[in-house]
Amino acid sequence: MTDPRPATPGADGDEVRRVVRETNYVTWRRQGGWNPLVVARAKDSTFWDDRGRAYLDFSSQLMATNLGHGNAAVVDAIAAQAHRLAYAAPSFATEARAQLSSALLGVLPKGLNRFFFSTSGTEANEAALKIARVVTGRTKVLSRPRSYHGATAASISVTGDPRRRPVEGLQTVPGTVFAPDCYCYRCPFGLTYPSCNVACAEYVDQQLEREGNVAAMIVEPVVGTNGVIVPVPEYLPRIREITRKHGVLLIADEVMSGWGRVGEWFAVDHWKVEPDILTTAKGITGALIPLGLTATTSAIHDEFRDRYFPHGHTYEAHPLTLAPAVAAIGEYRRLDLLEKSRRDGEYLLQRLREIQGRHPSVGEVRGLGLFAAVELVRDRSSRLAFNTEEDKLAGRPLVAEQVAAAMMKEGVFCVAWVSHLVIAPPLIVTREELDHGLEVLDRALAVADAEVRTGAVA
Ligand SMILES: Cc1ncc(COP(=O)(O)O)c(C=O)c1O
């Protein structure tokens, strides 16, 4: 598909790439060898580079543009708010703030009715962790190894994935205790569901019994970047019971799993779990403007009625970020995207299972709604992964990244992380686009299959 619109006059792609490469940091990688694609524009599930070449966005950029690119209602809301009132200090009330707060009451899990607005998922979690620690007066936080919760001190400290390691002890805060993942394909106890009796949840009961001084447990209800890991049905309800029993707050990090991605407003809705704090960002505006949300119960808010609330940002409750979220919620409803995500998600998983059958390098496919992972293995029987988290940090070539690169050559963008691919197209993706992306994935997996046979990549 070629870009229907004319090129921007004067925009020289090579010059754009040169200036950006020579003046910017790029996130989460070695800086050398960065050669970014120039993204010129985007619409719906497609983006175009500076040469007019189209790419199907099979991961919604960073699992964020749930409404697709350029949603007119959201864009118009940004423009209208910019003209009317672009900024007001957070101590003021604004109409956008009232409208979004009312709208949130209609979509969030029951009991979450006090809001703190920031501008990223990281900030949403940083606020949640601070609130949990201040309210309980306790310091420890339970998290899980396969998790990402953000880039700043407290949020990276409760992050289990390799991004924590380079700053461990340099810019982390003490107090993280890791609980077992609910990851059946690689069960930390070597058990099999359901005869395991969900040992990963029961172990948390023992941990909380012994640890003491635990303020909260933070979970991605469906783990995102670290594998699109869907818990067994008993897991989260049991974690809710256990945390409640020990008087420990439950923080649901729905930065990636929220906003229809898994076929409900929020992943916890699948299991009717009511966390004490829910954090989100990304899909709240379809990523068209940066917004983070920390939602708490009124019981938590009450704790600050006569106590100093020790948190805030200049851009807290920034009107320009709030008005588009109201429009976004309207669009999720108008386009019936929760139901579409459920329906297309079943189709996606069924097609992925067929693909798995053709490729020895595919160890497992899993997912919920329009959120799926293809986990690659060198050896299906032993489940040996092609690459490790150390390989990722060391910048070694990763088989999953080579598969993603082969897809990119065919015009499909798909995020790869250590040993899996994350499939998360915009929720508005058409069946034809879904089929096209899957056909390209099917072909690209030959790259990984070849490594199964030769074992050439260490
Ligand atoms: C589950 C989860 N929490 C927190 C974050 C951090 O969000 P942000 O990158 O907006 O700071 C992310 C980002 O991918 C995420 O996936």
Q: Which atom of ligand 1 sits closest to the CA of residue 282?
A: 10
Q: What pLDDT score was predicted for residue 8? A: 53
Non-local (6+) Cβ contacts of 358 within 8 A are: 442, 445
User: pLDDT by residue (tens digit) across 415-440?
Assistant: 999 999 999 999 999 999 999 999 99
User: pLDDT by residue (tens digit) across 222-268?
Assistant: 999 999 999 999 999 999 999 999 999 999 999 999 999 999 999 99
**Measured distance CA(228)–CA(162) in Å, rounded:** 16
Q: Which atom of ligand 1 sits closest to the CA of residue 223?
A: 1
Statement to judge: residues 231 and 244 lie in one domain: yes
pTM for the predicted model, two decimal places:
0.97
The 3-state DSSP class for residue 219 equals strand
Query: Which residue type occupies 291?
Result: L
Statement to judge: residues 94 and 29 lie in one domain: no
Non-local (6+) Cβ contacts of 81 within 8 A are: 96, 319, 320, 322, 323, 324
Q: What pLDDT score was predicted for residue 454? A: 59
Percent of the chain exceeding pLDDT 90 equals 96
**Which among 284, 303, 334 is the end of a domain?**
334
Q: Does a structural domain hold residue 110?
A: yes
Q: Which atom of ligand 1 sits closest to the CA of residue 256?
A: 16
Q: Does a structural domain hold residue 299?
A: yes
Q: Does a structural domain hold residue 131?
A: yes
Q: Which atom of ligand 1 sits closest to the CA of residue 64?
A: 14
Q: What pLDDT score was predicted for residue 211? A: 96
User: pLDDT by residue (tens digit) across 291-320?
Assistant: 999 999 999 999 999 999 999 999 999 999
Statement to judge: residues 206 and 120 lie in one domain: yes
User: pLDDT by residue (tens digit) across 25-36?
Assistant: 999 999 999 999
Q: What pLDDT score was predicted for residue 4? A: 52
Residues with CB under 6 A from ligand 1: 62, 120-122, 125, 148-151, 220, 224-225, 253, 255-256, 281
Q: Show the beta-strand stretches assigned E in 22-88.
A: 39-43, 46-49, 54-57
Number of structural domains (the chain) is 2
Distance 8 CA to ligand 1 centre (A): 32
Q: What pLDDT score was predicted for residue 38? A: 97
**Measured distance CA(388)–CA(278) in Å, rounded:** 31
Statement to judge: residues 146 and 32 lie in one domain: no
Virtual CA dihedral for 243, 249, 253, 257, nearest 10 degrees? 50
Q: What pLDDT score was predicted for residue 453? A: 62
Give 68's DSSP letter.
-
| 32-42 average pLDDT score | 96
Q: Is 102 exposed, middle or buried (0-12, 13-18, 19+ CB in 10 A)?
A: exposed
| 376-401 average pLDDT score | 95
Statement to judge: residues 32 and 146 lie in one domain: no
Statement to judge: residues 80 and 63 lie in one domain: no
Q: What pLDDT score was predicted for residue 6? A: 46
CATH of the domain at 308: 3.40.640.10
User: pLDDT by residue (tens digit) across 71-110?
Assistant: 999 999 999 999 999 999 999 999 999 999 999 999 999 9
Residue 344 sits in which domain range? 13-67+336-454
- Name which residue sits closest to atom 8 of ligand 1, judged by CA: 121
- 119 — pLDDT class (breaks 50, 70, 90): very high
Q: What pLDDT score was predicted for residue 458? A: 44
**Which among 276, 308, 334 is the end of a domain?**
334
CATH of the domain at 347: 3.90.1150.10
Tokens of 377: 């293995």
**Which among 305, 334, 363 is the end of a domain?**
334
Statement to judge: residues 347 and 327 lie in one domain: no
Statement to judge: residues 132 and 199 lie in one domain: yes
Distance 280 CA to ligand 1 centre (A): 8
